[in-house]
Amino acid sequence: MSKTYSWGILAPGNIAGKFVAELKGLDNARILAVGSRDLNRAREFADIHGIPRSYGSYEELVSDPDIDIIYIASPHVFHAEQTKLCLRHHKAVLCEKAFGMNSEEVREMIDTAHMEQTFLMEAFFTPHQPSYREARQLIESGQVGEILHIHGWFGFNKSPYDPKGRLFNPALGGSAILDIGLYPLFDVLWFMGEPSELNAFADLTPDNIDQTITVNLQYEGGKSASIFASFLSATGVGTDIYCEKGMLRLRRTGALNQSLEILLPGESVRILNWDETSCGLKLEASETMKCLCENQLESPVMSHQCSIQLMKFLDLIREKIGTIKP
């Protein structure tokens, strides 16, 4: 029988609520505590989700000796500081994306994990999904030939514009590329590797926040990719992979609803769907606990190098559009 791990939730909120709802479905996970800077908010979240312990500071949460793993669900501007706090108390960490605000922060987080010999993983759920694993297997098998182009997008209409809201607030790390554009960017890097050239164009708010962004990536041999992310356009989310022998379409309406369409000339379109037990945020938690059982300090699915590479190109894109200095 596998060990049961006790989880702490750092920063109650919308994504934390979704994560906890799925975590309850795992037999080897126990949700023990929630911590917030506001004790009343922690207690309210604990009452809603049936969590036995609530704390009014993050220091109290990480000091609980019964917690094995902490899930960090705060805005990404706080991730580096909070991750290092958890790691220094030898709590394994599953930290939401974006992992940090820049490459320097990400490397500090990973260096701290190595120094403390404590597990750390970015909570990036797509590589754990069966749709992504199936798409990669099809590509690696040669059935669809080499990838020639990828187009990925993620958009919703967040109106009316609120300069104090998290998405548009510089103090909270507001940015379309950091909040949603990193999903299609990850897809391109995961399936195609690093580009030889990159250009980016953005619509910026008066506070210099990218609210719509387009990125073009060039590869050797004439291969290419493009991504689009927007807080103004209700496009939904998807990734199309154009290959020599056909096309793959990755789609989702949420973490629990995943599909893969396989289009090959002369054949009927194949649509693969997975039920909710096979998909979701819980796969990140399962991977975390699996790695701890195997005494691993990082995941082979979402490795530290994956997070370093992703942030490297998030930095480059923001340099290109002028929202951070080169």
Nearest to 287 by CA among 126, 141, 161, 138: 126
Kindly indicate the confidence band of residue 136, based on its pLDDT and cuts at 50, 70 and 90.
very high
175 and 42 within one domain: no
23 and 83 within one domain: yes
Residue 304 included in any domain: no
10 and 65 within one domain: yes
Residue 192 included in any domain: yes
169 and 316 within one domain: yes
Q: Using a pLDDT cut of 70, give the percent of the chain over it.
A: 100
Residue 326 included in any domain: no
pTM score, whole prediction: 0.96
120 and 134 within one domain: no
Q: Quick: pLDDT tens for 41-50.
A: 999 999 999 9
- Distance, CA of 307 to CA of 103 (rounded, Å): 9
Residue 303 included in any domain: no
- Distance, CA of 296 to CA of 303 (rounded, Å): 11
How does DSSP classify residue 178? I
Q: Quick: pLDDT tens for 295-307.
A: 999 999 999 999 9
| Domains held by the chain: number | 2
- Distance, CA of 7 to CA of 94 (rounded, Å): 10
CB 48 within 8 A of CB 96: no
